[in-house]
Amino acid sequence: MKTTASPSRFATLASPSPRTLAGLSVDLAHSRLDRQRALELRRDVYRRKGLLRENALTLQVLPQACAPGSAIFVAKEHDQMVGTITFYMDSAIGLPMDDVHREEVDEMRSRFARVAEVGGLAVLEDRRCVGITMMLYQAALGWALSTHAQCLVACVNPSSRRVYSRLLLFEVLGECKRHPRFLGAPSIPIGLDLTSAPTRYREATGGELDGLACNTHLPYTFGHLGSAQYRQWSDDEVSEMIQSKQLTLAGDEQLYVERHYPTTPRACSPR
């Protein structure tokens, strides 16, 4: 079985503030178990928020999560997972928010050579006031800088717009629309120009955005990410997700994933 590539040394990209809980850390979801636990946490949080149906049981994985450079991050308090966020690198099959905000994302593609999306944010309700959301976003920003992404996009609820603008310097890219994947919840597209963000961040906060990635060691080259071998999922994981319908593929998405993973269904061996 071909194993997933992973950084040999990935430092925590965001340090807890004095108000955060002891034992809190953010890192890549290195193991299959952590990735599945992250999907479970996101499903459960989204159900409680009314973004998924109460009877939603399948842990859905978007095809874009299989693109080289895409990554899931998890926040843990000791051994308990308390939050997660997903970084999607743009590829031939696009980004998840293309389904709703394609025009705005295409505008960013016309301006920047490498665009990425951050999404799938989920934090346990009783941990939402201890800085975990900021730590997860800082990890995603550090990863974006490490992978030489030039623009980061996201779609968020309008009620959160000012938080993203004030704390993370995102700008609104377009109008509010209804998001069908989240039961018609309102969604606005936002974007962050990473080529100017370090300077703007320094002027706004006195801190260094570049510092988020300064200790990151990547044992592979992102110069030509489309042909890079970095993948967070293993071949077996992708095959099993297809079998269990966690990962649904059709058309170009199927061809793209098959190009990066041997996805012939196989019997699942006991773990």
Which residue did the predictor score with more confidence, 270 or 176?
Answer: 176
Q: What distance lies between CA 261 and its chain's CA centroid?
A: 20
Q: Across residues 136-140, what is the average pLDDT?
A: 89
pLDDT in tens, 62-73: 999 999 899 999
Q: In the prediction, which pLDDT does 128 show?
A: 72
> What is the predicted pLDDT for the residue at 204?
66
Beta strands in 2-140 (DSSP E): 9-10, 24-28, 71-77, 80-89, 115-123
User: Is residue 220 very low, low, confident or very high in pLDDT (cuts 50, 70, 90)?
Assistant: very low
Query: Domains of the chain by range and CATH?
Result: 12-152+195-213+225-260 (3.40.630.30)
Predicted pLDDT of residue 10: 34
Closest listed residue to residue 13, CA positions, set 25, 31, 24, 29: 25
What's the chain's average pLDDT?
81
State both tokens at 11.
Answer: 């430092």
pLDDT score, position 125:
86
Q: Pick the range with the lowest mean pLDDT from 3-17, 174-188, 232-246.
A: 3-17
The yes-or-no verdict on residue 265 having pLDDT over 80 is no
Residue indicated by tokens 């990863």: 143
Q: Compute φ and ψ for 61, nearest 5 degrees.
A: -120, 130
Give the model confidence (pLDDT) of 228-248 as tens digits.
456 888 889 999 999 998 999
More reliable by pLDDT, 51 or 229: 51
pLDDT tops 70 at residue 196: yes
Confirm if 59 and 85 have CB atoms less than 8 A apart: no
pLDDT band at 101 (very low <50, low <70, confident <90, very high): very high
List pLDDT tens digits, range 158-174: 988 888 888 888 999 99
Lowest mean pLDDT among 9-13, 47-51, 175-179: 9-13
Q: With a threshold of 0.85, does the pTM exceed it? A: no
